[in-house]
Structure 1
Amino acid sequence: MPRGTPSTMRRTSCKTRTVRASPTSSSATPAEASDAYARDMPLHHVAYVTKDCEATRHFYEDLMGFPLQYTETTVHPETGSWIRHMFFSIGPDEAGKEEAIAFFEVHNVGEKPDYTTDLSDGVGLPVWVNHVAFRATAEMQDGLRARMDAAGIKPLMDMDHGWCHSLYYVDPNGIMVEFCRDTPGFTPDPAEARRLLTADPLANAVKTR
């Protein structure tokens, strides 16, 4: 029999709960991983850094057509540091929630004096490696090209990948942006995708350039 009185005894209860396998667990199947995360987590926003808010606004709002939706400024008076954070809408997700691309302008928050805003050149990579791609139609690509041409901005690349056709531009921050039109898009094949992660690239290439 347990010792102690009801006032001194600690009562514990046991509850059961269902734990969904983590996608990082070796026991998780691809279906479980997809159900656990990807299906429930559409994009909210991605954020990059800029040194010129107005040039960035002009590129993304006036030329690309992404309306500026929200700007927030945070100031730390004791250090004189500040952050400006602006959000451009890229359209709603399947639930009707706005997705966004965002940019920071920073001052004295720990940045190095010689920091760069580009995603690739600054770390020794070709500009096309780290980039952001937006889904587009042929009409959207034509309209974008016309606006960019009028502003004196030529595409970095205009490429047919076989399953998609893409226009590439470089924004004022040195970030490459892609406007990708599915023609008709790739066919998902998770098993083959996993196999190719460790397969010999030279023996498994679908195309060469």
Structure 2
Amino acid sequence: MNAQTLKLDQIHHVAYRCKDAKETVEFYTSMLNMDFVLAIAEDKVPSTHEPDPYMHLFLDAGNGNVLAFFELPTKPEMGRDPNTPVWVQHIAFKVKDRDTLIGFKEHLEANGVEVLGVTDHSIFHSIYFFDPNGHRVELACPDPKEEEMIKRLDAVKWDMLDEWTRTKKAPQHAAWLHAKELDKK
């Protein structure tokens, strides 16, 4: 098969580590209404054959998207990369619309979860929070003018990437995206 004809279908699953399997399942099922799909537990890692007991969880994030977690009780406590800001590494889930986004925000806050936002990114609107494992989670809904703005961004993406590669300074081709947020401050 020619390499140019190879194409991915979709993400099969995204896996993160968790501190406590049950707490993680309870958070994602009660806070984000995900279905707990399955659990796999073994004493040996199938790919490496390394002896290491684990619990592997799978949650349905909608539309064939699966979020997975591993609890690894014999490993040192999980941490974060100290050189990467906490806002960088996250997983984002799409929700239908702004009403749904606000509904999740209210639900999370009513259950003691600290929520940042709504942040207006022009093409979409987001809220941010942390799961019990310290993973940053984003919920995002499309802006009503998303398609129009995506076209504007698409037209400048390569120029932006080339300028960034040369200068390592933020190109201003899409500065309009967060101009509304900056005006509020």
Deviation, structure 1 residue 193? 1.5
Matching residue of 1:30: none
1:50 aligns with 2:10: no
Matching residue of 1:71: 39
Task: Please give the root-mean-square deviation of Cα atoms over the aligned residues, in Å.
Answer: 2.5
Could you say which structure has the higher helix fraction?
A: 2
Within 5 A, what are the aligned runs for 1:7-86?
Answer: 19-21=2-4, 36-37=6-7, 40-76=8-44, 81-86=52-57
Preserved CA contact (<8 Å) 1:156 1:170: no
Structure 2 length as normaliser, TM-score? 0.76
Task: Note closer, same or farther for the CA distance 1:19–1:158 as it changes in structure 2 (3 Å cut).
Answer: same
Structure 2 CA distance for aligned equivalents of residues 157 and 145 of structure 1: 9
Please say which structure displays the higher CA radius of gyration. Answer: 1
Q: Which has the higher contact order (CA 8 A, sep 6+)?
A: 2
Task: Note closer, same or farther for the CA distance 1:191–1:145 as it changes in structure 2 (3 Å cut).
Answer: closer
Instruction: Specify which of 129, 138, 141 is matched with residue 88 of structure 2.
Output: 129
Deviation, structure 1 residue 114? 4.3
Deviation, structure 1 residue 191? 6.0
Instruction: Provide, for residues 131-189 of structure 1, a one-character-per-residue CA deviation record: whole Å limited to 9, x for no partner.
Output: 11111122321221222122111213321111111011111111111111111334155
Matching residue of 2:124: 164
Matching residue of 2:156: 192
1:144 aligns with 2:104: yes
Structure 1 length as normaliser, TM-score? 0.68
What is the identity percentage for the equivalent residue pairs of Structure 1 and Structure 2?
26
Letter in 2 for 1:47: A
Instruction: Specify which of 92, 99, 109 is matched with residue 65 of structure 2.
Output: 99
How many residues align structurally? Answer: 164
Preserved CA contact (<8 Å) 2:98 2:125: no
Structure 1 CA distance for aligned equivalents of residues 170 and 106 of structure 2: 39
Letter in 2 for 1:127: V
Matching residue of 1:24: none
Task: Note closer, same or farther for the CA distance 1:51–1:19 as it changes in structure 2 (3 Å cut).
Answer: same
Matching residue of 1:180: 140
Matching residue of 2:47: none
